Amino acid sequence: MHTELFISWRYLVTKRKEKFISLISIISVLGVTIGVMALMVVIAVMSGFDRDLRDKIVGNSSHLTLANYNGINNEEYEKILRRIAPNPHIKGISPYVQGQVLVKEGAKFFAVGLKGIDPVTEPAVTKIKQYVTVGSIDNLNRESVIIGKELASYLGLGLNSKLVIYSPIGKQYSLKVVGLFNSGMYDYDMNLIFTHILSAQEMTGLHNQITAIAIKLDNMYLAEKLKQELSGLLGFNYVIKTWMEINQNFFAALKLEKLTMFIILTLVILVASLNIASTLIVMVMQKTKDIGILRTLGVTSSGIRRIFTYQGLMIGATGILLGSAGGFILCDLLKRYQFITLPSDIYYINKLPVFIQFWPDIALIILCAIAITLISTIYPAIRAGKLKPVEALRYE
């Protein structure tokens, strides 16, 4: 074993009169352990929320949305379909009509979003078929509607109920509820209804026209690349948006919140590193005579600095290893047993989602903890290295 490393280890595990140093070393290890473990668990939960929300948002919408400011008529849609369908990355294409309507049940009025879909092609671009938990999308026709679970509960509706809809052009329609969907997103389940695309065209006055075309890819992260390809293929008359652009404010808020939590909890490790620095300072004071002897035996000033740097890194590394192990265990327990419940009327889920992502989350936590530990050793190590042999040997 390297001489400096061996001396560092001996100083750290001393069992004789330096009991106080051992105690504050243990406290330093525990501080780093708790900081790393807390940071890992919180970031894993934030990553879980991020992934879960992303899956639900993408499940309710398509990877790409293709539109024209002047609308797209049926003939134009067929031309677009023939041009983009051969792309090997495109796995589903479906037209839709979007608008706003007013629904009425008894004395209750509620403004909701209207989405007219093709029940045959829509399951190829969204998870609507999976989300319809009562009834079936296959029963959707011009005289029927599918509504969200939350909206059905608010209006007191069920399967086969009649829903009165007032369209933007002033007409009234009475449609049969043939399905209830539960996407897991409160806003969608409360503020969105699905009708047949022909019904939506009639309600919004867009006869023989569609609002946009939904496109699903084999890899959602290729959306930006496919956007550029389709823009070059179709020209500048069309507006193509990716799922990331449509929800960019939402994902930016999640990213900022995750970064904020990372910074706040990193301060816990920073506080623990002050304990490491204080441990080394006390060690330098108590080992002043030993430092003098080592210097007279030929150990250089840089060698003395390395001894105390290694010692600080050992304390930090022990805390990081224990914290990482504790973090993985706690995350696994949270994921497996889900013993922490959330109020479902406030959050869109009732259990904490946990997703351990080694890169970049866990790797950055470990690297930051190592960097903070290393920084905390700088002052004590420099102080020890500056001691001159004659001055050091004066301390008996």
Q: What is the enclosing helix (H) or strand (E) of 1?
A: none
pLDDT of the residue at 320: 94
In angstroms, the CA 56 to CA 240 distance is 21
Q: Between vectors from CA 355 to CA 351 and to CA 361, what angle results, nearest 5°?
A: 135
CB 122 within 8 A of CB 137: yes
Taking Cα atoms as reference points, which of 201, 212, 143 lies closest to residue 167? 201
In angstroms, the CA 69 to CA 54 distance is 28
Terminal-residue alpha carbon distance, the chain: 29
Both tokens assigned to 17 = 């009169």
Burial class (CB in 10 A: 0-12, 13-18, 19+), 111: exposed
pLDDT in tens, 182-200: 987 888 889 999 999 999 9
SS3 134: strand
Both tokens assigned to 50 = 């991020």
pLDDT of the residue at 390: 64
Name the pTM for this structure.
0.78
- Residues 6 or more apart whose CB falls under 8 angstroms from that of 203 comprise 99, 101, 114, 116, 165, 167, 168, 169, 171, 173, 195
pLDDT of the residue at 360: 86
Q: Tokens 């995350």: give the residue.
A: 331
pLDDT in tens, 90-146: 999 999 999 999 998 887 788 999 999 999 999 999 999 999 999 999 999 999 999
CB 117 within 8 A of CB 244: no
Give me the phi and psi of 377, to 5 degrees please: -90, -10
Q: Tokens 């031309």: give the residue.
A: 79
pLDDT of the residue at 21: 64
Taking Cα atoms as reference points, which of 169, 170, 167 lies closest to residue 145? 167
In angstroms, the CA 48 to CA 351 distance is 11
SS3 276: helix
Q: Is the dihedral of CA 266, 271, 276, 281 positive or negative?
A: positive
pLDDT of the residue at 347: 66
pLDDT of the residue at 350: 65
Kindly give the pairing relationship between strand 144-148 and strand 172-181.
parallel
Please spell the DSSP secondary structure of 306-369, one letter per residue. Answer: HHHHHHHHHHHHHHHHHHHHHHHHHHHHHHHH---B--TTTSS-SB------IIIIIHHHHHHH
Q: From first to last of the 396 residues of the chain, give the pLDDT tens digit.
A: 477 788 777 777 765 555 666 777 788 889 899 999 999 999 999 898 888 888 888 888 899 999 988 889 988 999 999 999 999 999 999 999 999 999 988 877 889 999 999 999 999 999 999 999 999 999 999 999 999 998 999 888 999 999 999 998 889 999 999 999 998 788 888 999 999 999 999 999 888 899 999 999 999 999 999 999 999 998 888 999 999 998 888 788 888 888 888 898 888 888 888 888 888 888 888 778 887 888 888 888 888 898 889 989 999 999 999 999 999 999 999 888 887 877 765 666 667 889 998 888 899 999 999 999 999 999 988 888 887 776 656 655
How many of the other CB atoms lie within 10 Å of CB of 86?
7
SS3 97: strand
Burial class (CB in 10 A: 0-12, 13-18, 19+), 32: buried
The upper half-sphere exposure of residue 172, i.e. CA atoms within 13 Å in the direction of its Cβ, equals: 5
- Residues 6 or more apart whose CB falls under 8 angstroms from that of 390 comprise 292
In angstroms, the CA 140 to CA 120 distance is 10
CB 24 within 8 A of CB 311: no
